[in-house]
Amino acid sequence: MALPTIPRSQVEPVPIVRLSRTFNVSAAHRLHSIYLSDEENQKIYGPCNRQYGHGHNYKITVTLAGQVDPQTGMVVNLCVLKSIAQRYVAELLDHRNLDMEVDYFIKRPSTTENLAVLVWQQMRVGLRDTGLPESLLDDVTIEETDANRVSYSGKYAPN
């Protein structure tokens, strides 16, 4: 008589593993808020508010977290993650003027903070369109320079 199979979750804990994909995009922008006067913009943003803007080589890392599939040994195939990041983020942002070519920045300043929120939103759409749960998305980190880094993990302040 064969012994019954015990589900893996009853035998050992199911590991939750984080995996990340890093890629680069080059983009231009000008830090400027339509809600502030020219003087206020200059005071807050300094040289980043210059009329013709400036550019960055952004280093973007998207991180997913989920259960390791016992059959594949993966949370998600990294090739799928790479494809989503390319299609939904890099193609939207790379070699663009963020303020003039990305609708998200029509009514908000193109700060790295707002860029991180946009990347988060785009990755969620990409996961959903690929048939993967949006809940896999764990973190978006953007390095604007070697010294400046912004992370977003999908949290919102209470209203």
Active site residues: 48, 95, 144
Beta strands 96-97 and 16-29, pairing class: parallel
Closest among 128, 124, 158, 125 to 139, alpha carbons compared: 124
Closest among 109, 145, 143 to 31, alpha carbons compared: 109
- Among left, alpha and beta (phi > 0; psi -120 to 50; other), residue 118 is alpha
Which contiguous run of DSSP H or E holds residue 24? strand 16-29
SS3 state at 3: coil
